[in-house]
Amino acid sequence: MEWDFTLLLIGNGVLIGLMYSLIALGFVVVYKATDAINFAQGEFVMLAALMSAAVTVLMELPFWVGVLVAIVGMISFSFGLERVVLRPLLGRPIVAVIMATIGLAAILRGLGPLFFGAETRSLTLPVGDEPIILGPFILQPVQVTGAAVALLFLGGFTWFFLKSRMGVAMRAVADNQQVAMAMGINVERYFALAWAMAGIVSALGGVVWGAMLGVDVHVSLVGLKVFPVVILGGLDSIIGAVVGGLIVGIVENLAAGYLDPLVGGGTKDFAPYVLMIIALMIRPYGIFGKRKIERV
């Protein structure tokens, strides 16, 4: 009986973990290609959720239009962001980039409700809400959809980076911008492409997380989970994002199931961070991360 409970927690952890990976993917792709750190990833997800909710709930258009609007909107938003904010910050200290995206997060959290309204809206995926029961697992269709979308994208991105010409070029940009430029790669175009990819991922992440949590400013809190995921997995590894997501998902579910009754709640939000600190002590560059060699 006890094992059933554990399995149930792990099953849900896997699904949630894959949904975390989906969001972490946006962070990793941008960091990999442009070295920019996006502390506003959670707010990106929130913005996408707000957009699709505005289309489907306020204008009563079909669901797929909402998804499409979110994707197009997020691509153009992240595109513009790269142009206006992040390009002038190239080569500046890391604290500048971090603060710029934190500032951006503040803007989005402030202005999002101003334009889309402050109340919580429900966004329904066309998958029903009857839980699927598989042996010991009880799975929510929303989470299954989210996990499926995440797997689809992870597979797609892996293929893109390993096999496609553009993916190889993007890896070259990530490796060394100057050499990539010398080899005839249009570095600026690949920066834009990386941000567009992050936009797509955030849009889909926004739709699935919005469907799960309800759409309001609090969706952006998902962004806080991105950091343990990417640190555990390694900042520049797509496989790492998946593994990190799974670890965080499972750990936080187990913590919520076993520790919460003992200490009175809230461990879900901080157990992944404790794990992350331990990981930082042992392997500072993550499980799959690249170790950087520094020279004077």
- β-partners of residue 121 are 215
Among residues 59, 99, 132, 166, the one that binds another protein under rule CB under 8 A? 99
Residue of the chain from 47, 53, 105, 250 that contacts another protein (CB under 8 A): 105
> Does the footprint of another protein cover residue 260 (CB under 8 A)?
no
Angle between helix 41-53 and helix 223-233 axes, rounded to 10 deg: 130
- Shorter beta-carbon distance to another protein: residue 143 or 220: 220
Among 61, 83, 140, 269, binds another protein (CB under 8 A): 269
Least distance from C-beta 49 to another protein, angstroms? 17
Nearer to another protein, 84 or 134 (CB): 84
Q: Where does this chain touch another protein (CB under 8 A) — which range of 49-57, 122-130, 186-194, 265-273?
A: 265-273
Nearer to another protein, 92 or 128 (CB): 92
Residue with Cβ nearer another protein (70 or 255): 255
User: Is there binding between residue 58 and another protein (CB under 8 A)?
Assistant: no
Which CB sits closer to another protein, 134 or 263?
263
Q: Does 55 bind another protein (CB under 8 A)?
A: no
Q: Is 261 in the site for another protein (CB under 8 A)?
A: no
Residues 6+ apart with CB under 8 A from 141: 125, 127, 128, 129, 130, 131, 132
From the list 7, 59, 90, 96, which residue makes contact with another protein (rule: CB under 8 A)?
A: 96
- Among positions 61, 72, 85, 168, the unique one binding another protein when judged by CB under 8 A: 85
Interaction of residue 284 with another protein, rule CB under 8 A: yes
If binding is defined by CB under 8 A, does position 79 make contact with another protein? no
Task: Report the nearest approach of another protein to the CB of residue 27 (Å).
Answer: 10
Q: Exposed, middle or buried, 176 (CB in 10 Å: 0-12/13-18/19+)?
A: exposed
Nearest alpha-carbon partner for 49 in 187, 203, 194? 203
Of positions 102, 148, 213, 259, contacts another protein by CB under 8 A: 102
Nearer to another protein, 72 or 254 (CB): 254
Instruction: Please state, in angstroms and rounded to a whole number, the distance separating the CA atoms of residues 131 and 39.
Output: 34
Which residues sit at the interface with another protein, rule CB under 8 A? 37, 85, 88-89, 92-96, 98-100, 102-111, 113-114, 118, 224, 227-228, 231, 235, 263-264, 266, 269-270, 273-274, 276-277, 280-281, 284-285, 294-296
